[in-house]
């Protein structure tokens, strides 16, 4: 079936075009809505008549009418904030300053002040909207159409008509429009928009794919599991949008400071007027004593930080959790599935009968286990295959529930399982470490070997823990339901010096609370489901590897879309950088500039017009300083190998 060129354009999203589309999303044209063009016209008309009055070309009545037209949106917004949110912002301050200037005989200064502030407000609003649009662009987009295959053949349909069970065809260069499972084909998929991972993932039969990802090579038939607003991508976008709307404690503090600062400012301005009787000076001071910039110091930082984290596969549920992560001093990890892969691996094979070799034991055990679905049996088979062993087919096979397997291989009776399997068959058990995970191998009623298993440590876990320590984390602990011996073995390999083992889920909650009662701010890292009580109790709950898992996405404060502990380090680095940026905004953008402005105004060095121009400075500075989080390099600290090298060199 031949598709039209326009339809092909809807489906195919090469990488360069995808990037261009994202850039365009935050562009000027996209942000310039009809209402903004009306605002531009208003500003231009006001500026023309103010200039004409300054040149004595229009009467004062025209100036008053012009000021009324210009002040209307400012007064409307200011009064709305005052009535509905009990907040006094720049708009209400400028309205009063302009009216006072007109009444006090400074008509030109008041009108120019109003015009400049109108322009400043427009630029700030436009830049904020562009930033929000570019944030959505950073996350990505989903195709509007999909290529559906059913009994009627192959056709392109709107994405809204796709239902679970529908088979969607995806070709190289196209975005995958649904969450689903591959039923035919192979390919390499760029999942950066979901997981933040730059390396394409190979997909084949039964592989899971996500909407919004790009098939770079190959062709796939995908059976739909979720479409539209139910996809992982849509949930991520929704979470980011919700996070943007939430306030961090430092942001709420800024709002409270602004509220109590207003009466102080009013008293200050009244005193200045009583002492100086100078309307120009009062108007100038009103510009620099406006507390509105406090409200700009934090929201843009949080938006930028949350978007940057989302692009890297880290979902932060809001500014409150970002700020909390910046302040934690203790991180506790679950073991299985968090620090370890959760899949056993053969570590060693011990030969207990000299008439057999290690290869003999591995061969016979794998033959007995090859039809079992138990994780330990699968590990034995994987070990034999990796060693290049040809695994024979058992003559008979039987699973012994809770104990192991029994089989006949090459006319020999084979038992592979735990000590209860040996006891049931009246076979003596050799001395061994009771904490170790062991599968005994018995041939014709005699134990000939022991297969020792170990959980596999998650790649990069040791480096991530070392980097967390370098960011100021003073206490790193492991909370696990596993036995102490096995837990301490894993902890020693990872550089974790505190282990609390043999815990039930409720005991993990108690452990977290005990740390909090000791004065620690605790982040708990777990799988997002089994560790939900402890995640909820901690100051910050971080769920690992929850791509596509609705329950885990909703359970945690911060959700990692891949099982990559370095993402926690990155999230911590982003949080600390955001917190530092907010302090910079408050100190430099609000504090220094306004103190200097007030000083200059009191000394009579500047007037209302100059103050209005300078007023643009903090807004621009705060905006630029905040949005740099979208692009600046984030330092995650040294790895364990870097630290080891530094220690060896010292």
What amino acid positions are annotated as catalytic residues? 334
Helix (H, G, I), strand (E, B) or coil at 29: helix
Length of the chain: 650
**Taking every pair of C-alpha atoms in the chain, what is the biggest distance, in angstroms?**
115
What's 337's DSSP letter? Answer: T
**Type and span of the H or E element at 360:** helix 358-369
Q: Which of 323, 257, 11, 322 is nearest to 146 (CA)?
A: 11
Q: Cα(259)–Cα(294) distance, rounded to whole angstroms? A: 10
Q: Which of 413, 373, 408, 375 is nearest to 392 (CA)?
A: 408
CB atoms within 10 A of CB 552: 22
What's 12's DSSP letter? Answer: B
Q: Cα(341)–Cα(30) distance, rounded to whole angstroms? A: 45
What's 352's DSSP letter? Answer: -
DSSP annotation string for 491-516: HHHHT--EEE-S--HHHHHHHHHHHH
Structure token pair of residue 477: 């602990």
Residue 480 main-chain phi, psi, to 5 deg: -150, 150
Pairing of strands 522-526, 540-543: parallel
Long-range contacts of 29-33 (CB under 8 A, 24+ apart): 30/130, 30/133, 31/126, 31/129, 31/130, 31/133, 32/126
Pairing of strands 340-351, 446-457: antiparallel
Long-range contacts of 154-157 (CB under 8 A, 24+ apart): 154/1, 155/1, 156/3, 156/7, 156/10, 156/11
Q: Cα(195)–Cα(209) distance, rounded to whole angstroms? A: 12
Structure token pair of residue 542: 């971080």
DSSP annotation string for 53-118: HHTT-S-HHHHHHHHHHHHHHHHHHHHHHHHHS----HHHHHHHHHHHHHHTT-HHHHHHHHHHHH
DSSP annotation string for 563-612: S-THHHHHHHHHHHHHHHHHHHIIIIIIIIHHHHHHHHHHTTS--HHHHH
Strands of the sheet containing 404-409, edge to edge, are 340-351, 446-457, 437-443, 412-417, 404-409, 396-400
Q: Cα(238)–Cα(633) distance, rounded to whole angstroms? A: 26
Structure token pair of residue 559: 């959700």
CB atoms within 10 A of CB 227: 23
Between helix 461-470 and helix 484-494 the angle, nearest 10°, is: 70
Q: Which of 394, 420, 393, 416 is nearest to 405 (CA)?
A: 416
């Amino acid at each position: 079936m031949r598709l039209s060129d326009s339809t092909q354009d809807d489906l195919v999203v090469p990488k360069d075009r995808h990037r261009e589309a994202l850039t365009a999303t935050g562009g000027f044209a996209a942000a310039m809505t009809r209402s903004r063009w009306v605002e531009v016209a208003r500003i231009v008309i006001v500026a023309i008549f103010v200039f004409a009055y300054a040149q004595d070309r229009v009467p004062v009545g025209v100036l008053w009418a012009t000021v009324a037209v210009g002040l209307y949106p400012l007064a409307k917004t200011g009064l709305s904030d005052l009535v509905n949110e009990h907040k006094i912002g720049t708009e209400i301050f400028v309205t009063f300053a302009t009216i006072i200037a007109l009444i006090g005989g400074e008509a030109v200064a008041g009108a120019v002040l109003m015009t400049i502030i109108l322009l400043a407000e427009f630029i700030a609003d436009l830049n904020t909207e562009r930033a929000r649009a570019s944030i959505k662009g950073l996350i990505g987009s989903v195709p509007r159409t999909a290529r559906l295959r059913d009994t009627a053949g192959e056709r392109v349909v709107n994405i809204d008509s796709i239902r679970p069970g529908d088979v969607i065809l995806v070709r190289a260069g196209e975005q995958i429009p649904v969450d689903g499972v591959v039923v035919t084909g192979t390919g390499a998929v760029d999942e950066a928009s979901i997981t933040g991972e730059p390396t394409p993932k190979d997909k084949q039969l039964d592989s899971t794919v996500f909407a919004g990802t790009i098939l770079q090579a190959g062709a796939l038939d995908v059976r739909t599991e979720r479409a539209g607003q139910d996809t992982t991508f849509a949930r991520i976008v929704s979470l980011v949008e919700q996070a943007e709307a939430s306030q961090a404690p430092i942001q709420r503090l800024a709002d409270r400071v602004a509220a109590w600062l207003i009466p102080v400012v009013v008293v200050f301005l009244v005193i200045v007027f009583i002492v100086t009787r100078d309307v120009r000076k009062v108007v100038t001071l009103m510009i620099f004593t406006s507390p509105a910039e406090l409200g700009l110091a934090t929201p843009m930082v949080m938006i930028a930080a949350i978007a940057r984290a989302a692009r890297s596969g880290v979902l932060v549920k809001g500014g409150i959790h970002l700020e909390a992560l910046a302040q934690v001093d203790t991180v506790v990890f679950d073991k299985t599935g968090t620090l370890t892969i959760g899949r056993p691996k053969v570590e060693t094979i011990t030969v207990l009968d000299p008439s057999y070799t290690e290869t003999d034991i591995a061969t016979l055990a794998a033959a007995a286990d090859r039809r079992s679905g138990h994780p330990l049996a699968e590990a034995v088979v994987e070990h034999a295959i990796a060693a290049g062993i040809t695994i024979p087919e058992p003559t008979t096979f039987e699973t012994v529930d809770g104990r192991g397997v029994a089989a006949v291989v090459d006319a020999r009776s084979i038992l592979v399982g735990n000590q209860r399997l040996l006891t049931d068959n009246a076979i003596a058990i050799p001395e061994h470490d009771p904490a170790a995970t062991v599968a005994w191998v018995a041939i014709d009623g005699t134990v000939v070997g022991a297969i020792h298993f170990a959980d596999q440590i998650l790649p990069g876990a040791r480096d991530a823990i070392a980097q967390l320590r370098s960011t100021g984390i003073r206490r790193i602990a492991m909370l696990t339901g596993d036995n102490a011996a096995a837990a301490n073995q894993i902890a020693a390999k990872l550089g974790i010096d505190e282990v609390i083992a043999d815990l039930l889920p409720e005991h993990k909650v108690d452990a977290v609370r005990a740390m909090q009662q000791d004065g620690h701010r605790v982040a708990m890292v777990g799988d997002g489901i089994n560790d939900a009580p402890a995640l909820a109790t901690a100051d910050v709950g971080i769920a690992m590897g929850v791509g596509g898992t609705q329950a885990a996405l909703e359970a945690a404060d911060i959700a990692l879309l891949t099982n990559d502990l370095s993402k926690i380090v990155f999230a911590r680095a982003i949080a600390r950088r955001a917190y530092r940026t907010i302090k910079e905004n408050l100190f430099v953008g609000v504090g220094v500039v306004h103190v200097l402005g007030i000083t200059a105004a009191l000394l009579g060095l500047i007037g209302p017009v100059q103050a209005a121009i300078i007023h643009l400075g903090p807004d621009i500075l705060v905006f630029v300083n905040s949005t740099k989080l979208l692009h600046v390099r984030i330092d995650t600290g040294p790895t364990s190998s870097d630290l080891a090298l530094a220690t060896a060199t010292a």
